[in-house]
Amino acid sequence: MFSLFKKRQPAEELTFKARVERFWQWYSQVGARFYQTIESGKCADLATEVSQGVDDLFPGLAWVFGPGTEGVGHSFTLSGEGVLHRQLLAIYCVNRAPKLNGWTFYASRQPGTIEGIRMEIGGHKFDAMEFWITPRIDNESEKVDITVWHPLFATVRKENERLSPLFLFLDEVLGEFGTGQWIGEIESNDTRLADAIPLKELHGFIKKLEAEKGWQKLSPGESGVVYSREERANWFLRDDIIVGSTTHSDLVNEYYRAEGKLQNPLAGTGADYVFVSIDSRFFPEAKEMVDKRSAIEDALNQKLQSAHSGRLLGGAFGAQYGYIDLLLFDGQNSLEIVGRVLREQNLPAGTAINFFAKEKISQKVVL
């Protein structure tokens, strides 16, 4: 049998890019056997083997087998289980998956059935099939607000006890990201409204709505937000930021809560969060300031993505520095790409590549 680890560099020393390449090399070798094992109804026999492969190379990621596209063939899913730090890694990994006959690969849990699923809370056993939903379309937010009813609501009065099982069941019906992408406000009701539909039909309702409206829902890490900071100081790097944009709000917020001493959220993965700091006096005024930083960001993103070595996360302007945030997948190789691109931009002395993780602050690279 092909082994992931026989006579090879230990997994903990590999960059994330190298881990992904090793994983798909292994999966290409075992995929046909896995397929036949699942076809013969012995999927459970693969659990130990697959868990070893995933856990050693991708700590923090979950996995599951399932049906392929439109029920044809089989699928293999890697998931960050709702943790964006891990989800970005899962997306990168699946984007680099090989084409294997009969297999579909996903970076998040897909919609499934809720038949037979129950959850007990507060002594009450909720059957997922007994939830009824009244959807209301919010054209402004491009989401669906829902009113929820369940027979047990006659005795369950607390809102959190009513809705806790619903969130679990929504993820089963809509998939791992569907709830966040499509569902807006949620409220419970003591009676079933006349235009309610069974929860199991909500996915079909949303698919029809998506086709009619043409609303595009982006994967995690693809949609950006703008943020600003009113209370600023200079206690640590990035503490001077005035305004920024990011596709990873969790990272930005966690860094500030840690006051610049962020425990590495990617520890053990072989990936790194870094940010470039550039003297703010390098940038021109007004719109040209944004255009200048955007040009550097585009150059970095293009080179990193073409080498499968990283991606842009966002950027910001502060009183002292301009910043560019990156996720790197290939260790020193990624850092060298970033360094080459920055040197081509004629940036001022003192420009640096800094690590978000407090454990790696000393590895800062000054150009």
pLDDT digits (tens, 9 = 90+) for 82-91: 899 999 999 9
Q: Which residues contact 152 (CB under 8 A, 6 or more apart)?
A: 124, 126, 130
Which pLDDT band holds residue 187 (cuts at 50, 70, 90)? very high
Query: Is pLDDT at 7 greater than 50 in this prediction?
Result: no
- Alpha-carbon distance 359 to 277, whole Å? 18
Average pLDDT of span 254-267:
97
> Which of 163, 191, 213 lies at the terminal end of a domain, its last residue?
213
Q: Is 209 exposed, middle or buried (0-12, 13-18, 19+ CB in 10 A)?
A: middle
188, 213, 238 — which closes off a domain?
213
What is the Cα–Cα distance from 337 to 331, expressed in whole angstroms?
A: 10
| Per-residue pLDDT at 164 exceeds 70 | yes
pLDDT surpassing 90 at residue 231: no
Angle at 52 between CA 51 and CA 55, to 5 degrees: 75
Res 288 pLDDT > 70? yes
Q: What is the CA radius of gyration of the chain?
A: 24
- Which pair of tokens denotes residue 88? 């970005």
Mean pLDDT of 165-173: 94
Instruction: Tell me which of 251-255, 264-268, 280-284 is least confident.
Output: 280-284
- The pLDDT, as a whole number, for residue 6 is 37
Are 206 and 328 part of one and the same domain? no
Q: For 325, list phi and psi in degrees, rounded to 5.
A: -100, 135
User: Domain boundary at 106, 135, 167, which?
Assistant: 106
Residues 138 and 182 in one domain: yes
pLDDT exceeds cutoff 60 at 3:
no
pLDDT at 253 over 60: yes
Considering its fold, how many domains does the chain have in total?
3
- The pLDDT value recorded for residue 10 is 55
**Confidence at 9, pLDDT banded by 50, 70, 90:** low
pLDDT at 235 over 90: no
% pLDDT > 70, the chain:
97
Same domain? For 247 and 325 the reply is yes
Do 174 and 258 fall within a single domain?
A: no
Q: Other C-beta atoms within 10 Å of 157: how many?
A: 10
Q: What are 103-158's pLDDT values in tens digits?
A: 999 999 999 999 999 999 989 999 999 999 999 999 999 999 999 999 999 999 99
Residues 142 and 33 in one domain: no
Q: Which two tokens stand for residue 164?
A: 């806790």
Residue 2: what pLDDT?
Answer: 34
pLDDT at 4 over 70: no
132 bridge partner residues = 149, 198
What is the percent of the chain where pLDDT is above 90? 87
Asked if residue 301 and residue 242 are part of one domain, the reply reads yes
- Looking at the structure, tell me whether residues 44 and 74 fall in a common domain: yes
Q: What are the tokens at 32?
A: 């046909």
Residue 114 in contact with residue 200, Cβ under 8 Å? yes
What are the two backbone dihedrals, phi and then psi, of residue 75, each rounded to the nearest 5 degrees? -125, 155
Instruction: Give me the residues paired with residue 357 across strands.
Output: 262
Q: In this model, does residue 1 exceed pLDDT 80?
A: no
Task: Round to whole Å and give the CA distance between 273 and 89.
Answer: 12
SS3 content of the chain, % helix, strand, coil (to 5): 40, 25, 35
Residue 356's domain spans which residues? 225-366
**CB proximity list for 256: less than 8 A, separation 6 or greater:** 229, 238
Spatial distance between the Cα atoms of 1 and 41, rounded to a whole number of angstroms: 21
Q: Are residues 233 and 281 in the same domain?
A: yes
The predicted model scores a pTM of 0.87
3-class SS at 149? strand
Lowest mean pLDDT among 157-171, 264-278, 280-294, 333-347: 280-294
- Which structure tokens are listed for 177? 């990201």
Average pLDDT value over all residues in the chain: 93
Q: Are residues 267 and 362 in the same domain?
A: yes
The CA distance from 231 to 258, in Å, is 15
CA-to-CA distance for 334 and 255, rounded, in angstroms?
22
